[in-house]
Structure 1
Amino acid sequence: MMKRHLLIDTGLLFLIPLGIIGFSVSSQTDSPADHVAGAQHNHLKQTTDTAYTPKGRTIDTSQIQSLDFRASRVYRVTYAKTTFRAPLEADYREQRLYRYVPGSKKNNRTYSWSRIKAHVGKRVYVDMKAKAYYRDDDGERESEDFYRIRVSKSTTAQKYWVNEDVFDD
């Protein structure tokens, strides 16, 4: 009886590898064209949602703009009020003046340092801090600090956003 079980086990152990080898050989003989033949092309139609248009009005499809789905590197910006004065560092020209925190708006305007008559050691008023969180090229999360500055003591003066590197440490 024991010999019979050993014989069955040995037979199964011999058949299993043969079955695997046979299956792999048969799957390699299928031509790639057999798999491609089953693929179908998707045809998408351009449609306009008319559920939210006022009655009696038609939609001019030439004015419809496609949505921009490109991923932004900046995914969050946090703001905090602060008040201090700081002198500009010697390498301030390597940075830029921005209208908004970089990455927070799609069309952000940059300005020249000559606009505020900047020079090394010029003291500027800082009234807000922003921390921009973004993903670098490797996908890792990073953050960078920006400060809102103005040249005049007046709170209605033109304000610009600058990188933290423009100030002396």
Structure 2
Amino acid sequence: MALGLAGCAANSGGASSSSKSSSESSASSTTTQSTTSSSTHDSQKSSIVSHHQRAVKVTYTNLSDTARLDDEYREEHLYQSVPGTVKQNRIYQWDAQNVSDHQTVYIDKKAVATFKDDDDQNEYDHEDFYRIAFSKHATHHYWVNDDVIDHDLHHDNDIDD
């Protein structure tokens, strides 16, 4: 999926479906993003952080897919919202989620966030995020960076022996 901004390099996520711009989805994104109660449960240990850079644009795509966690998923964060879309974002701890290596996750949304390049303010960087759940009918969803998903295991039917 390529964005039509001058000087932008498209970051292909391998998923194709219709998408809507952040202005079209701003009303619906509030209702589709997961909510968290004010009390923190042991299974949802979290902290609040401020994102250093605000997203210029976010494009959301609805998905209905499964994938597996990458070997190094613990190096990334579990977010309540797409990073750069809110001033303070809740980050959840992997240890509190009771997950294992290569566990299947359920993906219901993809977000492509566009940021101004730190080195060259006339260029843009794109980051892919996925909204995942750890069970098919989970009530709690998390936003994760593209690096959390193992794309090699995600496309196992493409492997030739």
TM-score past 0.5 threshold: yes
AA at the equivalent of 1:163 = N
Aligned-pair CA distance for 1:83: 1.0
> Does residue 146 of structure 2 align to residue 167 of structure 1?
no
Contiguous gaps of at least 5 residues in structure 1: 1-70
AA at the equivalent of 1:162 = V
What SS is found at the alignment partner of 2:58?
strand
AA at the equivalent of 1:161 = W
Distance 2:131 2:55 in 1: 18
Q: How does 1:100-139 map to 2 (within 5 A)?
A: 100-138=81-119, 139=121
Q: Is the 8 A contact 1:90 1:121 kept in 2?
A: yes
> Does residue 123 of structure 2 align to residue 149 of structure 1?
no
User: Could you report, residue by residue, the CA deviation over 1:85-132 in whole angstroms, capped at 9, with x for unpaired residues?
Assistant: 111010001100000000000110100012221221100100000000
User: Could you report, residue by residue, the CA deviation over 1:42-90 in whole angstroms, capped at 9, with x for unpaired residues?
Assistant: xxxxxxxxxxxxxxxxxxxxxxxxxxxxx94411111010111111010
What SS is found at the alignment partner of 1:124?
strand
What SS is found at the alignment partner of 1:137?
coil
Contiguous gaps of at least 5 residues in structure 2: 1-51, 152-161
Identity %: 45
What SS is found at the alignment partner of 1:74?
coil
Count of residue pairs the alignment pairs up: 98
TM-score (structure 1 length as normaliser): 0.55
Q: How does 1:23-42 map to 2 (within 5 A)?
A: none
Task: Find runs of 4+ consecutive structure 1 residues off by over 2 angstroms.
Answer: none
- Partner in structure 2 of residue 91 of structure 1: 72
AA at the equivalent of 2:59 = T
Distance 1:160 1:104 in 2: 14
Question: Which has the larger helix fraction?
Answer: 1
What SS is found at the alignment partner of 2:74?
helix
Q: Is the 8 A contact 1:151 1:157 kept in 2?
A: no
Q: How does 1:39-54 map to 2 (within 5 A)?
A: none
- Partner in structure 2 of residue 41 of structure 1: none
AA at the equivalent of 1:152 = S
AA at the equivalent of 1:95 = E
TM-score (structure 2 length as normaliser): 0.58
